[in-house]
Structure 1
């Protein structure tokens, strides 16, 4: 005997580029570049068990809704866009009780002139909004693919050793990682009137400051310092989730060439890598309520 467990469906990675004409500084254009994914769940058992699609809003319709709401809302913050979409799906489709909207935003910087931009390389702004008919609304935003590096002020020693341990202890190493950070908004601060742009800027600045200012004895210590600093600087947030791959840099042996290497020449290893993950929560953080898996 088997039963159907939790299930959901949706449209993944809809590319939406929204240009708002003449709404920026001095009449310049504004641009939002999004990768949008929707996922709906609810009374969908019939589709799985008998092929009854009467409760299944087509994923193509979800895609078209993404485009229509981009037109209606304009170049808004990604959280505002995701909130509107999630509420729309739950409010207009009775069988759908939960909508999960995920938006990745790719940055562009202005060039000279009102209509010219260059794509920012590297980091991507993220947001995930869940609208649940019973549990309410929750917002987790953040940043990913943000590569940071300290050339020194990092050590790693005092770890346990066994018969398989070959790594030497180090009192001076290069520390680099590609940050994936998410921050959860307090329920009372997660609405259309929230200044999401300011929160993103403040949280990112706090993360970078903590990484730069922490003398690190482990990447775990750096993770906690970043989460702690974000929560201290941004009261609208109650939790920070971090995933930090250790981007290893190893000293090159230059002795065969008659040269010394005083922590100057490295090679950057691609894989394998250590992966450090953790959550930092405010003492008064409310229960998560809605899982974000």
Structure 2
């Protein structure tokens, strides 16, 4: 029986970069009144001619992960960070084109949003939502893909959700309901048809907006139904996208029994349970979506 090396990659994980753009108002002064900040975490994974380093410890083909980290910082200074998609493509293409032993680069970036408090240079972190981007590139002229998305987007409908007609067995205690709280923390990723998208920010804003509107406007008979409508709405409205993947934990809200205190509870007081929770995952895609399974991993 022969033992061989399978697929492999390596890189630098979670390089945290905060990039301050001064004079963001364009007044030409370094310490101008208006600043802009980009707070991101960058993970780079490279693959290519790496057999020798695994089999014999020969590092001749290896670009040190410390060099990858330094490249992230240097590119943040040299090029700025306009959008995480553009920054990811810039890094991925650089690593493949600059190193003959590297044939593929995977760059994943998470962005932590900040809102301006007052004046031009005071900020507060925006909730818990995180914007994400995952970029793959084989270098100049090669195959590329961009998957944008978000995680930790907490949403809740206080009515307009039902759940009944489900399978019952000897262990079923859950009562059917025609009025419940539906709450989830959305993780969503959407694949671009190509890397030719020019306004990544607008694409992200609109995709996020359509996710929220579909969640709010769907009278839900199940979380699965809501998931499909969210993905469908994004693809209907954003032609630059071809596939949406969603993970929706069902953040259960249980009515509290107030009868021991002589009180009715007409869908007014709930216990919000953090675990265990239901989890619904699904993919929604157009029938002409190009095949690109590696785009997601």
Q: TM-score, normalised by structure 1?
A: 0.95
Q: How does 1:93-242 map to 2 (within 5 A)?
A: 93-133=99-139, 136-187=143-194, 190-191=195-196, 194-242=198-246
- C-alpha contact (below 8 Å) 2:145/2:295 kept by paired residues: no
- Check conservation: 2:147, 2:295, Cα contact below 8 A: no
* Shift in alpha-carbon separation, 1:163–1:25, aligned structure 2, 3 A: farther
Q: Is the 8 A contact 1:33 1:105 kept in 2?
A: yes
The answer for the alignment partner of 2:40 in structure 1 is: 34
SS of 1:107 mapped into structure 2: strand
Encode CA deviations 1:265-286: one digit per residue, 9 max, x unaligned.
Answer: 1111111111101111112211
RMSD across aligned C-alpha pairs, in angstroms?
1.4
**Correspondence 1:277 to 2:255:** no
Contact 2:188 2:247 in 1 (8 A): yes
Deviation at 1:25, TM superposition (A): 7.1
- The CA deviation at 1:111 is 2.1
Q: CA deviation at 1:110?
A: 1.3
**Partner deviation per Cα, 1:19-76 (whole Å, 9 max, x = no partner):** 1111247751111000110001111111111111111111111100000000111131
Structure 1 counterpart SS, 2:11: coil
Equivalence for 1:11: 12
**Contact 2:114 / 2:126 at 8 angstroms: preserved in 1?**
yes
| 1:86/1:100 contact within 8 Å kept | yes
Is the CA contact (8 Å cut-off) linking 1:24 and 1:30 kept in structure 2?
no
Deviations 1:129-148 (A, max 9, x none): 00025851100001110000
Map of 1:261 onto structure 2: 265
Structure 2, unpaired ranges of 5+:
none
Question: What is the total number of aligned residue pairs between the two structures?
Answer: 290
CA–CA distance in 2 between the matches of 1:212 and 1:121? 19
Partner residue in 2 for 1:92: 98
Aligned to 1:248: 252
Partner secondary structure for residue 12 of structure 1: strand
Deviation at 1:182, TM superposition (A): 0.5
State the alpha-carbon separation in 2 of the partners of residues 56 and 157 from structure 1. 57
Matched residue, 1:71: 77
Per the TM alignment, residue 124 of structure 1 is displaced from its structure 2 partner at its CA by 0.5
Structure 1: runs of 5+ lacking an equivalent: none
Q: After superposition, give the CA deviation of every residue in 1:96-118 in whole Å (9 maximum; x if it has no partner).
A: 11100000000011122111111
Shift >4 Å, 4+ stretches: none
How far residue 291 of structure 1 moved from its aligned partner, in angstroms, is: 3.9
CA distance in 2, matches of 1:88, 1:14: 17
